[in-house]
Structure 1
Amino acid sequence: MSENNNSGSDWYSEESATFGDRVAGAREALGMTQTELAKRLGVKLQTVRGWEEDISEPRANKLQMMAGVLNVSMMWLLNGHGDGLDGPVEDVTLSGDIRAVLTEVRQVKSEMSRLSDRLGVLEKRLRHALKEHA
């Protein structure tokens, strides 16, 4: 694990990976299962799954504990900056077509995350408007 300065791999950067991707990556790098992480943090397995699938996010105290257990910084978990993983070592050389598809997959995943956040905001506005209308 090292300082991620974006000079090397951007595998876990904010543009390429989600919070859940970084949690799963750090956990797997330690050879830890989701069940083991849940036990170490004192949460249910479903809670860890929710974090890794970007369905929910931990509270600040659990985020701090998680960073310690996974041996990464809280900032790296949140946005990919700081002490964390550089990304997997690529033993194989990927063709340009494969790299292009992987890049596009990461971009679509990032866009989906942004759209999901936007949808949440719109749902809140709609609920608020419906309450006022009733």
Structure 2
Amino acid sequence: MDQDEYGEGQATLGDRLTAAREGAGLDLGALAERLGVRIETLEGWEADQAEPRAAFLGRLSGMLGVSLVWLMTGEGEGPQDGDGLRQMLRSELRDLQRTLEESAQRIERLERLLGQE
């Protein structure tokens, strides 16, 4: 992907957001769920009908594997190549596995407590 194509003069925040989401292999529903926003909200951001708050911009850049500067201005590190995307997905997978393990431990603890009644 030619990063100049997404520079300040050529693309909007919504364009870059769409490109990053697609580069990460996510559909609108998946990204909206991960962010905790409605699909309509994300559609509005991608259509430049509204802009995400600063906290969401930071989360978006992390989730989509692009720099915050690129997302806002089109300069810097944009959508990742296949290897970078795989690395990002592996990291997310490890985070999810850790969360599942912690949840399983909580479930076991609660089951033990309930069994003591």
Select the residue among 24, 40, 62 that pairs with 2:56: 62
Q: Larger C-alpha radius of gyration, 1 or 2? A: 2
Matched, 1:28 2:22: yes
**Higher RCO (C-alpha 8 Å, min separation 6):** 1
Name the residue aligned to 1:71: 65
Post-superposition CA distance 1:25-66 (Å, at most 9, x none): 011111100111101111110110000000000011111000
Q: Unpaired runs of 5+ in structure 2?
A: 81-117
Q: Specify which structure has the higher proportion of strand.
A: 1
Q: Specify which structure has the higher proportion of helix.
A: 2
CA distance in 2, matches of 1:44, 1:9: 29
TM-score where L is the length of structure 2: 0.64
Identity %: 47
CA contact (8 A) 1:12 1:85 kept: no
Name the residue aligned to 2:47: 53
Matched, 1:42 2:10: no
Post-superposition CA distance 1:54-108 (Å, at most 9, x none): 000001111100000001011111110121138xxxxxxxxxxxxxxxxxxxxxx
Question: What is the count of residue pairs matched by the alignment?
Answer: 80
Q: Unpaired runs of 5+ in structure 1?
A: 2-7, 87-134
CA contact (8 A) 1:73 1:84 kept: yes
TM-score where L is the length of structure 1: 0.56
